[in-house]
Structure 1
Amino acid sequence: MMLVTGTGLDGERAYLEECRAALRGMLDGARLNVVVGEHVAGDRYSAERLGRHLKSLAKQLAEEPEGPAFFGRLDFGDGPDAGDHRGQRYYVGRRHISGRTGEQPLVLDWRAPVSTVFYQADTRDPRGVTVRRRFGWSGNPPALTGFEDERLGEGGALRTASRILAEEIERPRVGPMRDIVATIQPEQDELVRAGIGESICVQGAPGTGKTAVGLHRAAYLLYTHRRRLTGSGVLILGPNRAFLGYVSAVLPALGEMDVEQTTLEELLAPELPKGSDGEATAVVKHDARMAEVLCRALYGRVVRPGGPLAVPDGAYRWRVSEEELDRVVSDTLREAPPYGIGRERVLSRLTALLRVRAEARGRTTDTAWTRGTARAVREFLNAVWPVARPREVVAELLSDPAVLARAADGILTSDEQSALLWARPPRSFRSARWSAADAVLLDEVAGLIERPRGYGHVIVDEAQDLSPMQCGAVARRSEHGSLTVLGDLAQGTTPWAARSWPEQLAALGKPGAATVALTTGFRVPGAVVTLANRLLDELAVEVPRTRSFRGDGSLRFHPTSDLAGTTARVVREALAHEGSVGLVAADDALDELAGAVRASGVEIATLGEDSHGARVTAVPATLAKGLEYDHVVVAEPAAVVEAEPKGVNRLYVVLTRAVSRLEVVHTRPLPPGIAPPI
């Protein structure tokens, strides 16, 4: 690294050009390595692996998002607390930029160990740093516009925020979510850098950066434990497809392309459900007790042997008594293996028993003999431990009152059993119209038959909305890995929403995980945070109140007798400000309001994959969670509250989507908790 010397703006711009040239050189080198690697001698497997790695690296560099080469600089002093970094200067950026051969890197990756100091050092504990420099950027491609120095080695009062830091946090946004590597706060950094074996739960109010923490933790773990996670993988579960589209640009901007991002519904049932359930039925299907009902239904298919077994072997017949057969089946059931493994275990034990008898009579039991004997035993096996398919098991349970009664006896009430039964059972499980709630039942049975693929780390956002059965599906996939659980109890909107993190973590299979609360809202302005904190009193959960990092923002109420006309006017006026605009309303009222906005001459997009570059987006209240807009117009809050049982929680979500300005348009009285003070 460079030794510490004075550097003005011109010197920093010259260094920027050196970094950009180095990046171009890295790309050229990666492309050359792909060509050279094709001719490297070695076995076919090694050559293929090398080729994939080199092509992946070249692709990653070629698709590098246009962004600042660095956002920070650390100057270390000569004191003993600087350690091995004494007298050194480090630039910190989104990715590593190599220097000349034999020289130190021009830019350190923000995830490198020494980069921790950039986020954690302060005047009380400078960690050997004399100056921390933050850089300001603007335009596209970004131009270096200035910098700001914090002299940590001089002691004195702690600085609450820098101008550049505040401007970056408050910068208007149109399009997908950005990374926050330039603005990570110390409490966020500690969570991001938590060890791979540590499961954590982040309780965070809107705007506290919990989603960003989760995404950056994924990037950090992949950087730090690349080899370990390459095989097991990282899975990110979001609440809906719109949310995933919104956050989709974060990890690629950090250089991480190979992370699986999906919703739990798509993970469990890639094909779209064709059926639907009433709320009462869905509540029962998502109840934790269904796991025991399904287990009984599956293992209830195993029956006691109905007599002895005779296996032909040429002119001889090997016999196994009913008592011996019953012992093999009973012993296997007591061991409680996955259903599919249990079936194979019974087969192998009976085959081994027959082998012992055959060899005792001098029979040669080669591979062909073993295969033939196993085929002969399978008829018996199919009778006592039949093959089970998840859809077949669940369809039988939901179609046959007698089967359901046996499996649910002492677990579900008669009314709950009635709610589960299909009104018109299909002819077979193949023609069943499965609902979204059925996906958790099918996954539970599939997990009982055979363990699903596990991941090295799973990040689940909006985890407060997961049902016990959904938690079980996540737990199966992280049994031997770790979890990052993100959520806010105040934003729970499902009928089964969690009211306690310890209970939810136990359902997720990580009862010992620590819960950490983020209480500083960085993206939500003070005016909106104050309103949200008032509404907390109306919710049936206990969460810490939020304080805003920002004292700005505006909140206006618009009582009117013309909801559509006033909404269109307010949206039109919002376009005079910089940034994105979200129109949020109850789902069944949104089309009419969006139509009024279009009729007023304003282009408005429908929430989806094609809406990320739009200035104005129409957002159904039920899909607003996790999204944010610079300017939010909420139409008729009373209708949002009345639309669902947890409507007050939904309103809390809707009102906290604004990161600069919030406008509330209403014809009806405002719900308790959000009426402006008199």
Structure 2
Amino acid sequence: MREDVEAMDIRDVTANWVNAAVLQKQIEARVAALADLRHTPLFFGRLDYLETAQEGQRFYVGRRHVHDADGDPMVVDWRAPVSRPFYRASRKDPMHIGLRRRFGYTGGDLTAYEDEHLTDPDEQERTSRLLQAEIERPRVGPMRDIVATIQPEQDEIVRSGLAGTVCVQGGPGTGKTAVGLHRVAYLLYAHRERLARTGTLVIGPNRSFLHYIEQVLPALGELEVRQATVDELVGTHVEVRGTDTAPAGVVKGDARMAEVLRRAVRSYVTVPAEPVVVVRGSRRWRVPAYELQQIVTELLDRDIRYGAARDALPQRIAHAVLVRMEQAGEAPDDRVQDAVARNAAVKAAVKEVWPPVDPAKLVLRLLSDPAFLAVHADGVLDPEEQAAILWAKPPRSVRSARWSAADAVLVDEAADLVSRTPSLGHVVLDEAQDLSPMQYRAVGRRCTTGSATVLGDLAQGTTPWATRSWAEALAHLGKPEAAVEELTAGFRVPREVIAYASRLLPHMSPGLAEVRSVRESPGSLDVRPADGDADVVAACTESLRHQGSIGLIAADARVPALAEALAGAGLVHLAPGDETTPDCRLTLVPASLAKGLEYDHVVLDDPAAIVAAEPDERTGLRRLYVALTRAVSGLTVLHSAALPPQLCKSTTP
């Protein structure tokens, strides 16, 4: 298929050089989409249909559609309707499938297959060994797709329609990130033309996480999905160079700030006190102040965006002038109205009544002028909250200000109050539990006319403003009608490891369902005391004897000392997001960046230090919960200090 595209001759099929350039670019994109991924097999399953329109037909299921030289299908795309039984069929509901075959691969080579005769009464129900082997296969480098191992409850979410927003609550190892990425791939397959126009976006918590997942969609043939963090989305207005205290960050992230900003923007509108007199030729047309006041009041009452109302104001004034012209017997047309709207007197009145607003300058004034903030936060923020967000030393200009990430979100909100933020067709928001209400609003602005897939785990919220309930979060996102789905079956984390980590749940997220892992792996958990960095290095050396990736997770403050110890022992290591080569399997991970990542074996350094590094115990326990649940095959917990008491069986919340 790739060779056929490369061999296309377009010299005589285009009308001009512009069309030729566009077509050539499309051909190059198609060639890139058909790139040969040496370790990624094109098919992983087979379906033999018994009846219906496909009676007696056999379909090979793969990551993408493959046809032969005559155009006949050899492999059908996993997203096609005919492939659905590969994920959904069971003995209770065979979905007209007589045989389902799974293929096993090693390094891209076909090494095994396994058959399920779904309608054979003599064959016993059993867990697929190839399925379990694929889940447990050692992983080195970026995250890979799970297209061969999607489970029925996951497939239901993946194939849900484009029109609705879906929120997925899932504990560690339930595959929520993979579900979100595969949902994007499915929607691009089912609604490609629409999403090609409107665009798609994947939002992650940090750049390291995005590097980790960036190869999943290309492996499924999707190359045009943009990836970004929330900070990158809103950081186009101002340069972020500062940080906030926790109290300031909580207030700035509160949804009430939207009302403060709305009041501040509208405060720039002044009530007209003078009439507008328009001179055309020998005639003078006068619009009295009271009529101007009515026009301004009507625009304010409509509560449209500041910029849109400002653009409408000169046309409204011009219309009032045209009414007077018609009353005087003239017959003005649209060209006359446009000319009047551009009249110097009208433009001067608009500038006086409805001046332009710079969003960054507005927020700068709000955060540096106590009197201005007090007026617009009256009845919304109390005096202590107002004092928390005011800059101690007001900057001289937008350029010199040390904007924080929360400030950038406020500027983005103000910018949307002035002019509408463009909307995308679909947005995937991962690790959503850590977003503030104002950040949810920023994301929601990017999908007002589209839909979203929200992924997260309330138990893993580690910010001071972490999400308390999905209903509240979805309301801030502007999608209160979204369906909330819960994934409780764990596939990645061994049962012994998740059970150990779940001891923390009653102390940090009471009432949240514990993940039940389907994988039992005796010996996967090892908790032991350590005596200094040498024991940590020894544990890493021991883990490197196993196959797959190794993650050494530690409190952020411990990372420099551990990096030095690893270097002294001759152990080469990477930073999160740099896992792109099988030559180095060890990654040193600060606990603050561990969320969303996974490693075959994890060495966890000093749990008490991870808890103590956070501003409060509950946040610290959540950070520890995240770190404990990054392991796929084995977890070694080393502690030089006493373990947090919440990890002991005898403690109660």
Q: TM-score, normalization: structure 1?
A: 0.91
Name the SS of the counterpart of 1:483 in structure 2: strand
Aligned runs of 1:230-245 on 2, under 5 Å?
A: 230-245=196-211
The aligned counterpart of 1:198 is 164
The answer on whether the counterparts of 2:142 and 2:579 sit within 8 Å (CA) in structure 1 is no
Give, in whole Å, the separation in 1 of the partners of 2:511 and 2:256: 26
- Do structure 1's residue 126 and structure 2's residue 94 form an aligned pair? yes
The aligned counterpart of 1:181 is 147
The aligned counterpart of 2:111 is 145
2:342 maps to a residue whose letter is A
The aligned counterpart of 1:499 is 468
The aligned counterpart of 1:170 is 136
2:537 maps to a residue whose letter is A
Name the SS of the counterpart of 2:405 in structure 1: coil
The aligned counterpart of 1:664 is 637
The aligned counterpart of 2:254 is 287
- Do structure 1's residue 28 and structure 2's residue 3 form an aligned pair? yes
Name the SS of the counterpart of 1:130 in structure 2: strand
The structure 2 residue matched to 1:323, chosen from 270, 273, 290, is 290
Q: Cα deviations across residues 65-90 of structure 1 (Å, max 9, x unaligned)? A: 6421210011122xxxx201111110
The structure 1 residue matched to 2:538, chosen from 554, 569, 593, is 569
The aligned counterpart of 1:615 is 585
Aligned runs of 1:520-669 on 2, under 5 Å?
A: 520-552=489-521, 554-560=524-530, 562-609=531-578, 613=582, 614-644=584-614, 645=616, 646-669=619-642
Give, in whole Å, the separation in 1 of the partners of 2:634 and 2:649: 15
Name the SS of the counterpart of 1:71 in structure 2: strand
- CA drift of 1:556 comes to 1.0
Give, in whole Å, the separation in 1 of the partners of 2:285 and 2:16: 49
Name the SS of the counterpart of 2:348 in structure 1: helix
The aligned counterpart of 1:21 is none
The answer on whether the counterparts of 2:317 and 2:341 sit within 8 Å (CA) in structure 1 is no
- Do structure 1's residue 371 and structure 2's residue 339 form an aligned pair? yes
Q: CA RMSD for the aligned pairs?
A: 2.0
Give, in whole Å, the separation in 1 of the partners of 2:194 and 2:20: 21
The aligned counterpart of 1:312 is 279
Call closer, same or farther: CA 1:289–1:373 in 2, change over 3 Å: closer
Of 343-352 and 243-252, more deviation after overlay is shown by 343-352
Q: Cα deviations across residues 195-242 of structure 1 (Å, max 9, x unaligned)? A: 111211111111110000000000000001001100111111001100
- CA drift of 1:503 comes to 1.4
Give, in whole Å, the separation in 2 of the partners of 1:199 and 1:211: 16
1:490 maps to a residue whose letter is A
Call closer, same or farther: CA 1:284–1:84 in 2, change over 3 Å: same
1:381 maps to a residue whose letter is V
1:527 maps to a residue whose letter is E
The answer on whether the counterparts of 2:167 and 2:454 sit within 8 Å (CA) in structure 1 is yes
The answer on whether the counterparts of 1:74 and 1:91 sit within 8 Å (CA) in structure 2 is yes
The structure 2 residue matched to 1:109, chosen from 74, 77, 101, is 77
Give, in whole Å, the separation in 2 of the partners of 1:675 and 1:509: 41
- Do structure 1's residue 335 and structure 2's residue 279 form an aligned pair? no
The aligned counterpart of 1:226 is 192
Name the SS of the counterpart of 1:235 in structure 2: strand
Name the SS of the counterpart of 1:424 in structure 2: coil
Q: Cα deviations across residues 502-552 of structure 1 (Å, max 9, x unaligned)? A: 111111111121111111111111111111221212113432111112101
- CA drift of 1:610 comes to 5.9
Give, in whole Å, the separation in 1 of the partners of 2:18 and 2:321: 41
Q: Cα deviations across residues 161-198 of structure 1 (Å, max 9, x unaligned)? A: 21111110000111000100110111111110001112
Name the SS of the counterpart of 2:60 in structure 1: strand
Q: Cα deviations across residues 107-165 of structure 1 (Å, max 9, x unaligned)? A: 001001010011111111111111111111112xx111121111111146773521111
Unaligned regions of 5+ residues in structure 1, if any?
1-25
Of 178-187 and 528-537, more deviation after overlay is shown by 528-537
- Do structure 1's residue 53 and structure 2's residue 26 form an aligned pair? yes
2:91 maps to a residue whose letter is T
Name the SS of the counterpart of 1:106 in structure 2: strand
- CA drift of 1:251 comes to 0.1
- Do structure 1's residue 62 and structure 2's residue 35 form an aligned pair? yes
The aligned counterpart of 1:6 is none
Call closer, same or farther: CA 1:201–1:335 in 2, change over 3 Å: same
Name the SS of the counterpart of 2:314 in structure 1: helix
1:325 maps to a residue whose letter is L
Q: Cα deviations across residues 339-376 of structure 1 (Å, max 9, x unaligned)? A: 10011111111112223334535386674773364241
The answer on whether the counterparts of 2:318 and 2:337 sit within 8 Å (CA) in structure 1 is no
Aligned runs of 1:236-275 on 2, under 5 Å?
A: 236-270=202-236, 272-275=239-242
Call closer, same or farther: CA 1:430–1:375 in 2, change over 3 Å: farther
* Percent of residue pairs identical: 51
- CA drift of 1:388 comes to 0.9
The structure 2 residue matched to 1:508, chosen from 473, 477, 481, is 477
Call closer, same or farther: CA 1:268–1:159 in 2, change over 3 Å: farther
Give, in whole Å, the separation in 2 of the partners of 1:610 and 1:554: 23
The aligned counterpart of 2:244 is 277
- Do structure 1's residue 472 and structure 2's residue 441 form an aligned pair? yes
1:658 maps to a residue whose letter is A
- CA drift of 1:100 comes to 3.5
The answer on whether the counterparts of 1:358 and 1:365 sit within 8 Å (CA) in structure 2 is no
The aligned counterpart of 1:357 is 324
Give, in whole Å, the separation in 1 of the partners of 2:391 and 2:167: 38
Unaligned regions of 5+ residues in structure 2, if any?
none
2:324 maps to a residue whose letter is R
- Do structure 1's residue 99 and structure 2's residue 68 form an aligned pair? yes
Q: TM-score, normalization: structure 2?
A: 0.95
The aligned counterpart of 1:154 is 120
The answer on whether the counterparts of 2:117 and 2:123 sit within 8 Å (CA) in structure 1 is no
The answer on whether the counterparts of 1:466 and 1:497 sit within 8 Å (CA) in structure 2 is yes
Call closer, same or farther: CA 1:575–1:370 in 2, change over 3 Å: same
Of 351-360 and 430-439, more deviation after overlay is shown by 351-360
Give, in whole Å, the separation in 2 of the partners of 1:452 and 1:130: 51
The aligned counterpart of 2:423 is 454
Give, in whole Å, the separation in 2 of the partners of 1:600 and 1:86: 63
- CA drift of 1:46 comes to 6.2
Call closer, same or farther: CA 1:292–1:202 in 2, change over 3 Å: same
- CA drift of 1:42 comes to 4.6
Give, in whole Å, the separation in 2 of the partners of 1:607 and 1:85: 47
Give, in whole Å, the separation in 1 of the partners of 2:208 and 2:510: 27
The answer on whether the counterparts of 2:140 and 2:579 sit within 8 Å (CA) in structure 1 is no
The answer on whether the counterparts of 2:278 and 2:340 sit within 8 Å (CA) in structure 1 is no
Call closer, same or farther: CA 1:369–1:461 in 2, change over 3 Å: closer
Q: Cα deviations across residues 448-490 of structure 1 (Å, max 9, x unaligned)? A: 1111110111110011111110111111111111111100000
Q: Cα deviations across residues 588-614 of structure 1 (Å, max 9, x unaligned)? A: 111101211221121112224366643
Give, in whole Å, the separation in 2 of the partners of 1:372 and 1:384: 17
The answer on whether the counterparts of 1:246 and 1:612 sit within 8 Å (CA) in structure 2 is no
Name the SS of the counterpart of 2:452 in structure 1: strand
Larger RCO: 1 or 2 (CA < 8 Å, sep 6+): 2
Give, in whole Å, the separation in 1 of the partners of 2:545 and 2:465: 42
1:53 maps to a residue whose letter is Q
Call closer, same or farther: CA 1:294–1:63 in 2, change over 3 Å: farther
Name the SS of the counterpart of 2:163 in structure 1: coil
The answer on whether the counterparts of 1:311 and 1:373 sit within 8 Å (CA) in structure 2 is no
- CA drift of 1:558 comes to 2.1
Call closer, same or farther: CA 1:569–1:306 in 2, change over 3 Å: same
Call closer, same or farther: CA 1:304–1:160 in 2, change over 3 Å: farther
- Do structure 1's residue 71 and structure 2's residue 71 form an aligned pair? no
